[in-house]
């Protein structure tokens, strides 16, 4: 995934691990920006509107229609209102947005232009300044008035009709672009694609949520492991009774044989009947190795799934279902900074999949645990993360492989990651054949 897994170090999570991450510009320097017509499209849905956040370069703008201006290589600030009016007309004629079966009308609520770095101009040999200069606008489709009690529409569809040719393609004729975009609604951000063959996206309220995306965890054990289990006490009592009965009937050997048989049978079956017969308290019992492995993989996967949320508070709350203590805030901050990249050029990174390769579980001696780790284990995990960056209508995938050590403990609210340490990482997709220097790119 275009990104990096974040697993902070035990307890203190060494901040240097994340502060040394490469910047977006260094990572994408080889593939961005690109020549030709480009668009960045993000759709946001709330109770009152469908909002299209759009960035287009002038090549894309001129492909949409005629936009007379004094200088073809730029749009002056004084010309923006006229361009906005013309774009509003084009969207009203071509872009179809439906909410619960009702067509919505567009309104350009904001528009602006950039001031690009001239040093990037050699990267645009085909379109020159028109490829480098961009407009950013917001197109609003109102679904309700300003009534605070308005509810979000149950179904919204968007038909996107604009697919200019890929000017960098060597095919003849040049194929139309496939537009990679994102759709944000009800707290979730979802990657989507529009193409001339599939130009419509339909969204339905309530189909998914950040909670639904979090895999459920096994419950924390609540039954204590006794020093003497109930079956053992039962076996002793029955054996004593059989021996006494044999003695009373002057068949001592028979009584001892019967009592011994009862002990052997109960020792094999270990029935859980008569739990009140259990004696002593040895504390809570750690789940089996298989169950601990399941807990580890679920927690790690849920860390990444937390960042499917669109709002910072929602991400933080979802992350708190997997991480606790001081590690929570640091992991949130570092993952947010390195994974969710929405800075210049509109690059955005999203997790596609988390693949667990191996898990080795080691129980932790309770006598040496911290107070909040009365029931805990260490898990050495090897895993891969597939990520994707959506950048000006294009997607770029990346896969990283990691090894890390996690301290996982039971809390009153459930299983949580208490500490973690990144042991190694490397990029394993085709574009990243060269090994990654952990001192430079040690991100999770």
Can you tell me the mean pLDDT for 177-190?
90
Rounded Cα distance, 130 and 113, in Å: 12
Q: Mind listing the pLDDT tens digit for each residue in 333-358?
A: 767 765 654 444 445 567 888 999 99
- Identify the band that residue 307 occupies on the pLDDT scale cut at 50, 70 and 90: confident
- pLDDT value of residue 337: 63
- Identify the band that residue 426 occupies on the pLDDT scale cut at 50, 70 and 90: confident
Q: Mind listing the pLDDT tens digit for each residue in 265-285?
A: 766 777 766 666 555 544 567
Q: Mind listing the pLDDT tens digit for each residue in 391-415?
A: 665 677 778 888 999 999 988 888 9
- pLDDT value of residue 4: 32
Cβ atoms of 158 and 50 within 8 Å: the answer is: yes
Taking the whole predicted model, whether its pTM rises above 0.85 is answered as no
Lateral strand order in the sheet of 348-363:
348-363, 376-391, 394-411, 414-427
CA dist list (Å): 395 to 44, 67, 114, 346: 19, 29, 23, 12
- Identify the band that residue 222 occupies on the pLDDT scale cut at 50, 70 and 90: low
- pLDDT value of residue 11: 35
- pLDDT value of residue 282: 44
Cβ atoms of 37 and 57 within 8 Å: the answer is: yes
CATH architecture of 16-25+285-441: Roll (3.10)
For residue 33, whether the previous peptide bond is cis, meaning omega lies within 30 degrees of 0, is yes
Residue with the bigger pLDDT between 436 and 388: it is: 388
The per-residue pLDDT of the chain, averaged, comes to: 79
Q: Residue 35: name the closest of 171, 180, 166, 172 by CA.
A: 166
Can you tell me the mean pLDDT for 228-243?
73
Rounded Cα distance, 356 and 383, in Å: 4
- pLDDT value of residue 128: 92
Q: Mind listing the pLDDT tens digit for each residue in 14-60?
A: 333 333 333 332 222 334 556 889 898 999 999 999 999 999 999 99
Q: Quickly count: other Cβ atoms within 10 Å of residue 182's Cβ.
A: 20
- Identify the band that residue 90 occupies on the pLDDT scale cut at 50, 70 and 90: very high
- Identify the band that residue 443 occupies on the pLDDT scale cut at 50, 70 and 90: very low
Cβ atoms of 421 and 405 within 8 Å: the answer is: yes
Cβ atoms of 55 and 114 within 8 Å: the answer is: no
Can you tell me the mean pLDDT for 366-377?
66
427 φ/ψ sector (left φ>0, alpha ψ -120 to 50, else beta): beta
HSE (side-chain half, CA atoms, 13 Å) at 80: 15
**Domains of the chain: which residue ranges?**
16-25+285-441, 35-167, 230-277
Most confident residue range from 4-13, 64-73, 234-243, 422-431: 64-73
Task: Report phi then psi at 239, rounded to 5.
Answer: -65, -40
Q: Residue 292: name the closest of 418, 223, 378, 215 by CA.
A: 378
Q: Mind listing the pLDDT tens digit for each residue in 127-176?
A: 899 998 999 999 999 998 666 567 889 999 999 999 999 888 888 888 99
Cβ atoms of 100 and 153 within 8 Å: the answer is: yes
Tokens of 223: 């039954």
- pLDDT value of residue 343: 41
């Amino acid at each position: 995934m275009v990104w990096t897994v974040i697993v902070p170090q035990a307890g203190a999570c060494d901040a240097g691990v994340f502060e040394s991450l490469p910047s977006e510009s260094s990572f994408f320097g080889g593939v961005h920006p690109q020549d030709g017509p480009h668009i960045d499209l993000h759709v946001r849905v709330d109770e009152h509107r469908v909002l299209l956040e759009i960035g287009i370069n002038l090549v894309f703008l001129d492909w949409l229609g005629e936009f007379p201006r004094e200088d073809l290589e730029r749009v002056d600030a004084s010309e923006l209102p006229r361009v906005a009016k013309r774009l509003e007309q084009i969207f009203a004629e071509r872009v179809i947005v439906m909410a619960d079966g009702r067509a919505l009308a567009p309104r350009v609520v904001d528009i602006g232009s950039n001031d690009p770095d001239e040093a990037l101009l050699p990267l645009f040999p085909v379109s020159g300044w028109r490829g480098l200069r961009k407009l950013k606008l917001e197109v609003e489709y109102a679904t309700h008035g300003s009534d605070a009690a308005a509810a979000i529409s149950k179904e919204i569809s968007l038909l996107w009709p604009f697919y200019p040719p890929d000017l960098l393609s060597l095919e003849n004729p040049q194929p139309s672009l496939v537009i990679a975009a994102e759709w944000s609604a009800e707290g979730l951000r979802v990657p989507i694609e529009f193409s001339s063959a599939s130009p419509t996206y339909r969204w339905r309220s309530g189909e998914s949520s950040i909670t639904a995306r979090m895999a459920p965890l096994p419950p924390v054990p609540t039954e204590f492991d006794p020093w003497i289990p109930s079956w053992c006490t039962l076996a002793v009592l029955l054996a004593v009774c059989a021996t006494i009965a044999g003695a009373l009937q002057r068949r001592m050997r028979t009584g001892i044989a019967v009592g011994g048989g009862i002990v052997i049978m109960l020792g094999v079956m270990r029935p859980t009947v008569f739990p009140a017969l259990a004696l002593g308290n040895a504390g809570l019992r750690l789940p089996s190795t298989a169950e601990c492995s399941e807990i580890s993989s679920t927690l790690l996967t849920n860390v990444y799934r937390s960042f499917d949320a669109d709002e910072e508070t929602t991400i933080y709350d979802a992350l708190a279902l997997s991480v606790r203590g001081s590690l929570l805030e640091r992991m949130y901050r570092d993952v947010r900074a390195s994974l969710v990249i929405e800075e210049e050029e509109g690059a955005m990174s999203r997790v596609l999949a988390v693949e667990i390769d191996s898990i080795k579980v080691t129980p932790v001696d309770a006598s040496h645990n911290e107070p909040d780790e009365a029931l805990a284990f260490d898990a050495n995990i090897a895993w891969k993360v597939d990520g994707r960056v959506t950048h000006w209508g294009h997607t770029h995938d990346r896969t990283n492989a990691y090894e890390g050590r996690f301290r996982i403990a039971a809390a009153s609210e459930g299983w949580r990651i208490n500490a973690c340490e990144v042991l190694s990482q490397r990029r394993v997709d085709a574009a990243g054949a060269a090994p990654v220097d952990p001192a430079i790119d040690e991100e999770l």
